[in-house]
């Protein structure tokens, strides 16, 4: 605790000090947000705009990865749900077999209870059979509802394929635009036969617009790489 906080505590002004600290924190957050916005501003000196043509910034490649990964995960989910559905159907069949046994047991205790009404054990077992039958019927109903819900979920998952097709359509449009841009900027003269570009023109503010021929070749190679994507 600082001396200022101690003095404020002694004078009973700690609430004012808390307000001042909170205000300073808010101002610091605002300054931090402004710095982040400046980095996103293309006019800012430190802004990375446009992003470099590296693997993580290749739009079509990223969209291809998204469609591939989402399709694989969706297929895995559908397989798991299909297995759950099969297990639920098997459980329902087993419950129906148990129900059949309980129904026979119920009929037996009904006959025994009617024939020997003075024997309490028959009535007790009959009540147990009725409760067991009720419980099994409830579980069968739950299994059927779960199977229906799984089928509904599998139908909903089919929309993922529609989304994948939409993304693929966007990819194809982007690819066609890229081909169109390459064609519209294509020249009749082969690049190897073109004369070297002037490094400095009259009116330029700098002595060298391009440092060397290597820079030009690197720039051409970069665009050529994008063309082959």
pLDDT beyond 50 at 215: yes
Please give the full DSSP string across 136-184, using - where no structure is assigned.
HHHHHHHHHHHHHHHHHHHHHHTHHHHHHHHHHHHHHHHHHHHHHHHHH
Least confident of 18-27, 181-190, 208-217: 208-217
Place 70 in a pLDDT band, splitting at 50, 70 and 90: confident
Distance CA 68, CA 74 (A): 10
pLDDT of residue 140: 93
pLDDT of residue 49: 59
Structure tokens at 107: 């009929």
pLDDT of residue 68: 86
Distance CA 87, CA 97 (A): 16
Q: Give me the torsion for CA of 104, 106, 109, 111, rounded to 10°.
A: -70
pLDDT beyond 70 at 186: yes
* CA neighbor of 67 nearest in space, from 3, 185, 163, 148: 163
Model pTM?
Answer: 0.52
pLDDT in tens, 135-179: 999 999 999 999 999 988 888 887 777 888 888 888 888 889 888
In the chain, what percentage of residues exceed pLDDT 70? 62
Instruction: Label residues 29-64 b or e (16+ Cβ within 10 Å = b).
Output: eeeeeeeeeeeeeeeeeeeeeeeeeeeeebeeeeee
pLDDT in tens, 105-130: 999 999 998 988 888 898 999 999 99
């Amino acid at each position: 605790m600082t001396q200022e906080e101690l003095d404020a505590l002694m004078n009973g002004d700690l609430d004012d000090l808390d307000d001042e600290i909170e205000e300073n924190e808010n101002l610091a957050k605002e300054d931090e947000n402004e710095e982040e916005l400046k980095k996103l501003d293309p006019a800012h000196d430190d802004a990375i705009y446009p992003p470099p043509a590296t693997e993580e910034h290749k739009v079509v490649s990223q969209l291809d990865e998204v469609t591939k990964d989402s399709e694989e995960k969706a297929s895995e989910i559908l397989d798991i749900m299909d297995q759950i559905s099969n297990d639920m159907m098997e459980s329902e069949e087993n419950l129906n077999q148990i129900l059949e046994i309980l129904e026979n047991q119920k009929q037996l205790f009904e006959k025994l209870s009617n024939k020997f009404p003075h024997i309490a054990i028959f009535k007790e077992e009959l009540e147990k059979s009725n409760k067991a039958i009720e419980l099994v019927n409830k579980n069968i109903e739950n299994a059927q509802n779960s199977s229906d819900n799984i089928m509904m979920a599998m139908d909903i998952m089919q929309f993922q394929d529609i989304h994948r097709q939409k993304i693929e359509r966007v990819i194809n449009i982007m690819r066609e635009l890229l081909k169109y841009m390459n064609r519209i900027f294509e020249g009749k003269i082969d690049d190897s036969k073109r004369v070297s570009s002037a490094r400095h023109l009259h009116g330029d503010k700098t002595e060298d617009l391009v440092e060397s021929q290597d820079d030009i070749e690197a720039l051409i190679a970069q665009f050529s790489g994008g063309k082959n994507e």
